Structure 1
């Protein structure tokens, strides 16, 4: 392992690397969007070009598009490497603080991180022996922390440098030979059907970062939903998911058109069925049309949320079943990463509402610690109950828990340098889902916040598991809040067990309150349904606390 020196760390400007990574990522997004427009224009022209010349032009267009894809993948690798170097900003700050602490104790700090204790000179031999033992022990303690930081800094710097070099070589090679050369044997095995991509996020991440842009693009051509795999770096997921978004939108539009053409009379409300069998067919047909419409609306909402008007947003998940995840900030480059899990009625076309809450959470975190890089994610990655009646059971929570576990493990696997502080926030039924995700072997999170949750099917925090945290410490890592006017936490305890805000659950409880709409009759009721959605509105005291929890600054 390559250990960094104190002089190297003091000379680094990691924030500049992070800024460079963001600039390269933005350039890649712009390049990909322009090349997509070019491809559409070329395809429209080639459709009217017949004969040998037309065929040759089509082949050339495919080659150029493939080359553009490779360039985009190379840019993503460069941006990801810069982002990794940017995480050293946190390490540099900790090294500087520890060096200052050592000097304040009168210690000398060598360039190799060795800490030499000050000498006790009271003149009393017995006292000096006792004091010197204490000074030496304190110096060793600080040295152990300092060496660990320098090792981490050296490893991160070496890895980022190697990846930048490899990406630069791959980009230069594209200028000489744009066509795909020989594929990596591991990639060839996957494409040939004799091997599978790793399911373990850390293994997939290691494989991915060892591949060339051409190999990565070959995997995307093989699996168009590659960007939804947990274990791919955030920038790579965003790059490939944006390419998938256009394809999925077109597929949903074609499906809707095909269904309409299949039964044009039914589409106009004419010649409706007269037999029970045909009425069932009509019902199934209408359900399929509605699903296609919902997908189109959802994809349009996603496109608006990650469009040019919304910079610094990464599309971390997208599939053909109405699931997506959007990050505000790059989780691979952040010191704090929070994931928001919505509840009942959270369809894909409402992810804009989730992004509004994510934006407010990020603002609260930045107010709690403006010096730290924080990313917050709206995770709409499961089949949320569409109605309250669907939320009475726990089937959807159990199914979604598996997906959330994999997503959080993926975030931890792809983060370079020191691990980010991970917080998972569950609203309403989303908290119930987190309750199932935080079972053995554990959820990859440092903190969990249950917000307006009906229950998590656990008697107390000791039944939950967070990776790296012993159950006896769960009280200090599991938080809960509920507005007194919110009916969901009160009524939910009859369905999903002890409520997280109840004393016997043993979570750390904090106060939230939002202004409820006061109408005749409603004002005389003990509950206000509107309170259930006001936890992230400016002015709610609970929002400030959530920001402090995300950054690890919650006062105890």
Structure 2
């Protein structure tokens, strides 16, 4: 046991050093992963031996029937079994705590720490199953934390079921207790390690694991549209619920960029990590909707997110990215923008970002990416018929719509087809303020 504890301590020091070092190379990351997995395996073996030993003790005592076939002996047996039950719970609790700490450690290095997507799915599903079983098979009072994990586990499970309607669903990230119980998860439809095209979808306000966003069909619709656009190429769409979004449009955070900047850092790590395990070339598109577009812009402008193309829909502003050039895409890459003229959220962009005196708070989310001079390619995104303002804001991923049709072209690596398909749109003018798209009725029945 002392040797094992020494090995554990050495592995912990190695992990801490690697984390402090910032993972300067893929080799650092692989070393961290190997040490953590070896440590986990050692801990699991120790736990198994402890349980086997307890089981042997119980079997030995119970086999001696004469020793407890009296009132006194029966009482002693009850005390003995109660003590062993406590010992078993201690072993199991310790094992679960160890598993959670390792999950947190690996996540702190970024989800793409060199582990293939299918292996990440296997490990995360085991943790998810444990969160569900712990409540369903509880023999004592359920803690608030366990109940919170259970509720979010069930929402993730629902998201996996919805995603599996179109293709293999992989649970790439799972932390049901993150962000004060809002949860953190990422589900891939299709395997991002082998896909020709990988798209990462980042949602906005009022989207979280807790709120059931993973069961929404947005990612499913993007995946199907990309597959229909180019049936000869494989696709993966990752629904990334990996940051603390504003709780609603009435949350004060929705007008401040702080959550977008923090989320942008995490998003950049996760997107860049896709290259670590991908086999062969891939076209990577990152889509941000609503406040998620601000997060995507910050990930590219400030944290080095590497993507071939970026799509911003329903954007309230791009914060640290003041123009398309600030995304630092490759020469062949583009920033694409979908902004319905009926969507009030998109009219928030372009307003001054105002610092609040005596605080570090900034109000306002920056430039309007649909404006003339920003440098983006705007595509048609109007809603057919009469639409309420909020319906316009939530319709970018609806099947047969202008926006989803255009997104299909971009996500499949065919953004150049927008012009050929007559799906490009004129930019907004700032002075005098005018949106040419207001003069055009939205159209439907767009299908590849």
**TM-score normalised by length of structure 1:** 0.53
- Is 1:398 equivalent to 2:398 in the alignment? no
**Are the aligned partners of 2:36 and 2:102 in contact in 1 as well (CA < 8 Å)?**
no
User: Whole-Å Cα distance in 2 between the matches of residues 370 and 349 of structure 1?
Assistant: 34
User: Whole-Å Cα distance in 2 between the matches of residues 385 and 308 of structure 1?
Assistant: 24
**Are the aligned partners of 1:487 and 1:528 in contact in 2 as well (CA < 8 Å)?**
yes
The equivalences for 1:196-215 within 5 A come to 196=16, 200=23, 202-203=26-27, 206-207=30-31
Kindly state the Cα deviation for residue 460 of structure 1 after the two structures are TM-superposed: 1.3
- Is 1:486 equivalent to 2:310 in the alignment? no
**Are the aligned partners of 1:341 and 1:431 in contact in 2 as well (CA < 8 Å)?**
yes
User: Whole-Å Cα distance in 1 between the matches of residues 41 and 404 of structure 2?
Assistant: 41
2:291 is aligned to 429
**Are the aligned partners of 2:159 and 2:215 in contact in 1 as well (CA < 8 Å)?**
no
User: Whole-Å Cα distance in 2 between the matches of residues 349 and 297 of structure 1?
Assistant: 8
Q: Structure 2: 5+ residue runs without aligned partners?
A: 44-97, 352-363, 420-448
**Are the aligned partners of 1:345 and 1:384 in contact in 2 as well (CA < 8 Å)?**
yes
**Are the aligned partners of 1:514 and 1:537 in contact in 2 as well (CA < 8 Å)?**
no
Residue by residue over 1:292-332, the C-alpha shift from the partner in whole angstroms, topping out at 9 and shown as x without a partner, is 76654322111123259936100000113110000001100
User: Whole-Å Cα distance in 2 between the matches of residues 226 and 544 of structure 1?
Assistant: 40
**Are the aligned partners of 1:340 and 1:425 in contact in 2 as well (CA < 8 Å)?**
yes
Q: 1:214 to 1:295 in 2, by over 3 A?
A: closer
The equivalences for 1:271-350 within 5 A come to 295-306=149-160, 310=164, 312-319=168-175, 320-321=177-178, 322-350=183-211
- Is 1:446 equivalent to 2:315 in the alignment? no
Q: 1:248 to 1:413 in 2, by over 3 A?
A: same
**Are the aligned partners of 1:351 and 1:380 in contact in 2 as well (CA < 8 Å)?**
no
Kindly state the Cα deviation for residue 506 of structure 1 after the two structures are TM-superposed: 1.1
User: Whole-Å Cα distance in 2 between the matches of residues 443 and 547 of structure 1?
Assistant: 22
1:263 is aligned to none
User: Whole-Å Cα distance in 2 between the matches of residues 387 and 308 of structure 1?
Assistant: 24
Number of residue pairs the alignment of both structures matches? 327
1:367 is aligned to 228
- Is 1:223 equivalent to 2:86 in the alignment? no
**Are the aligned partners of 2:226 and 2:412 in contact in 1 as well (CA < 8 Å)?**
yes
* C-alpha RMSD of matched pairs (Å): 3.4
Kindly state the Cα deviation for residue 359 of structure 1 after the two structures are TM-superposed: 1.0
**Are the aligned partners of 2:300 and 2:328 in contact in 1 as well (CA < 8 Å)?**
yes
User: Whole-Å Cα distance in 2 between the matches of residues 487 and 294 of structure 1?
Assistant: 35
Q: Secondary structure at the match of 2:228?
A: helix
User: Whole-Å Cα distance in 1 between the matches of residues 392 and 135 of structure 2?
Assistant: 36
1:116 is aligned to none
Q: 1:223 to 1:553 in 2, by over 3 A?
A: same
- Is 1:412 equivalent to 2:275 in the alignment? yes
Kindly state the Cα deviation for residue 537 of structure 1 after the two structures are TM-superposed: 0.8
Kindly state the Cα deviation for residue 416 of structure 1 after the two structures are TM-superposed: 2.2
Q: 1:238 to 1:544 in 2, by over 3 A?
A: same
**1:243 pairs with 114, 126, 136, which one?**
126
Q: 1:510 to 1:375 in 2, by over 3 A?
A: same
Residue by residue over 1:370-429, the C-alpha shift from the partner in whole angstroms, topping out at 9 and shown as x without a partner, is 1111100100010011022320101100110111011011112121233x1110000000
Q: Secondary structure at the match of 2:222?
A: helix
Q: Structure 1: 5+ residue runs without aligned partners?
A: 1-181, 260-288, 519-526
**TM-score normalised by length of structure 2:** 0.65
**Are the aligned partners of 1:397 and 1:433 in contact in 2 as well (CA < 8 Å)?**
yes
Q: Secondary structure at the match of 1:377?
A: strand
Q: Secondary structure at the match of 1:505?
A: coil
**Are the aligned partners of 1:427 and 1:452 in contact in 2 as well (CA < 8 Å)?**
yes
**Are the aligned partners of 1:202 and 1:414 in contact in 2 as well (CA < 8 Å)?**
no
**Are the aligned partners of 1:342 and 1:426 in contact in 2 as well (CA < 8 Å)?**
yes
Q: 1:211 to 1:398 in 2, by over 3 A?
A: closer
Kindly state the Cα deviation for residue 257 of structure 1 after the two structures are TM-superposed: 5.1
